């Protein structure tokens, strides 16, 4: 790296596919000695309540992942943080959540209880499932945080569409944002994280969790047209905001 890395890097995202890919890419672009942490997971492991977490400050240095945006504490020093905001179409996210229901572990349920739950969801079907899901609680605080910091802190916009469709573009731009000019490292990351490579990689969640996707737009083909239209209506303001934030070449994905 030709210049000093940012003191603090914070990825803010909704729970979604490609989060781990973005995490691996970012981590690889920073010095190997960089302190890394998922603050919410760490604080929960210490027994803190969610209310306590929402009042906690980030450490002074390192790379951090925040995948539950409404728990982020605005009342801390923010101007030295290099923010990475990761976007995902809420309609696609809802389809992911349906697929995850059948493969993700649910520790507080017994195997029999989990089997009953999954059969109930399968009988309900994807259209009814996504219509009763409300993910606004993930998107609204993410957008609020972006608007709060965009005028005084460094900001980089990532998205599921960019990571899947524009892998060869987003990784060099993120490297530049983080001050990494190692072109060989960038090329290695492009080869490792390109969707065509991930299908056969143990690092891709699809190898562990069936139903994961590798391209944006699954809601358009997995949902009935009327269901897709209803989700579009419910999330119109969020879709408009995501379209405005994402790069121009990717805005059509939010239509």
* Tens of pLDDT, residues 68-87: 899 999 999 999 999 999 99
Q: Flag whether 2 is in a domain.
A: no
* pLDDT for the residue numbered 6: 61
Q: What's the structural domain count of the chain?
A: 1
Q: Flag whether 191 is in a domain.
A: yes
* pLDDT for the residue numbered 18: 81
* pLDDT for the residue numbered 176: 96
* CATH code of the domain in which 231 resides: 3.40.50.300
Q: What separation in angstroms does the CA of 7 have from each of 78, 152, 170, 178?
A: 11, 16, 21, 10
Backbone angles phi, psi at 201, to 5 degrees: -110, 140
* pLDDT for the residue numbered 48: 86
DSSP helix, strand, coil percent of the chain (3-state; round to 5):
55, 10, 35
Q: Flag whether 1 is in a domain.
A: no
Quote the domain boundaries for residue 172.
8-254
Q: Flag whether 90 is in a domain.
A: yes
Q: Flag whether 166 is in a domain.
A: yes
- Residues ≥6 apart with Cβ < 8 Å to 61: 7, 8, 34, 35
Q: Flag whether 14 is in a domain.
A: yes
Low-confidence ranges of the chain (pLDDT < 70): 1-6, 198-214
- Full-prediction pTM beyond 0.95? no
Q: Flag whether 3 is in a domain.
A: no
- The overall longest dimension of the chain from CA atoms, in Å, is 56
Q: Flag whether 174 is in a domain.
A: yes
Q: Are 5 and 34 spatial neighbours (Cβ–Cβ below 8 Å)?
A: yes
């Amino acid at each position: 790296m030709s210049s000093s890395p940012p003191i603090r890097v914070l990825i803010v995202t909704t729970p979604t596919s490609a989060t781990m890919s973005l995490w691996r890419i970012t981590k690889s672009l920073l010095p190997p000695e960089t302190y890394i942490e998922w603050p919410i997971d760490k604080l929960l492991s210490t027994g803190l309540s969610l209310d306590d977490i929402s009042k906690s400050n980030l450490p002074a240095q390192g790379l951090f992942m925040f995948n539950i945006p409404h728990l982020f504490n605005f009342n801390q020093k923010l101007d030295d943080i290099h923010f990475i905001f990761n976007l995902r179409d809420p309609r696609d996210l809802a389809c992911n959540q349906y697929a995850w229901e059948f493969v993700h572990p649910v520790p507080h349920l017994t195997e029999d209880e989990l089997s009953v739950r999954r059969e109930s969801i399968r009988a309900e079907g994807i259209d009814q499932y996504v219509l009763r899901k409300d993910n606004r609680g993930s998107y609204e605080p993410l957008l609020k945080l972006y608007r709060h910091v965009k005028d005084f802190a460094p900001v980089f916009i990532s998205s599921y569409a960019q990571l899947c469709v524009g892998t060869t573009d987003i990784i060099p731009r993120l490297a530049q944002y983080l001050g990494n000019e190692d072109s060989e490292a960038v090329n290695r990351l492009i080869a490792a994280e390109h969707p065509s490579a991930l299908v056969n990689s143990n690092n891709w969640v699809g190898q562990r969790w069936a139903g994961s996707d590798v391209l944006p737009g699954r809601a358009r083909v997995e949902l009935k047209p009327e269901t897709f239209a209803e989700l579009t209506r419910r999330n119109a303001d969020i879709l408009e905001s995501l379209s405005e934030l994402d790069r121009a070449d990717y805005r059509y994905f939010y239509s």
